[in-house]
Amino acid sequence: MPINVDRYDSIAKNLYLFKPKQIDTIIPMPNDSDYKSGYINRYFVQKSNDIASPIFEISQNQYPTFLRNPFYTAVTILWRLIGTNDEISESNFKSIRFVHNDMPNLYKYIGNTLQFSKQ
């Protein structure tokens, strides 16, 4: 099959639509209203063609950009903040497992299922 230079140029010209300028990583800082509700949403991205690539936590504002980008896998999880240590840990572990098919190594990135917890 011959290379279609015009088609390549057309695709290459539009790649900028899918490449984010920068991944701005964050560490969520739950506030009083988050602790009152007991949960926060957390947002993560990773290159879609490499499950061993780094995982980044991003803001809610940046999430839609990556959700539409075929070069990245984007997931969101509900993160429990209050309860007993066992309740919090079990709930957060289930949230991580819920997205396991999309981002298998998220549990390695997060590590601590009691992160941000209050009792």
Instruction: Write out pLDDT tens, residues 72-112.
Output: 999 999 999 999 999 999 999 999 999 999 999 999 999 99
Count of helices and strands (H, E) across the chain: 5, 3
Listing DSSP states for 55-100 in one string gives: EEEE-TTTHHHHHT-TTEEEEEEEEE-BS-HHHHHHHHHHHHHHTT
Instruction: Write out pLDDT tens, residues 28-71.
Output: 999 999 999 999 999 999 999 999 999 999 999 999 999 988 88
Return phi, psi of residue 90, to 5°. -65, -45
Say whether pLDDT at 27 is over 90.
Answer: yes
Give the position of tokens 């497992």. 97
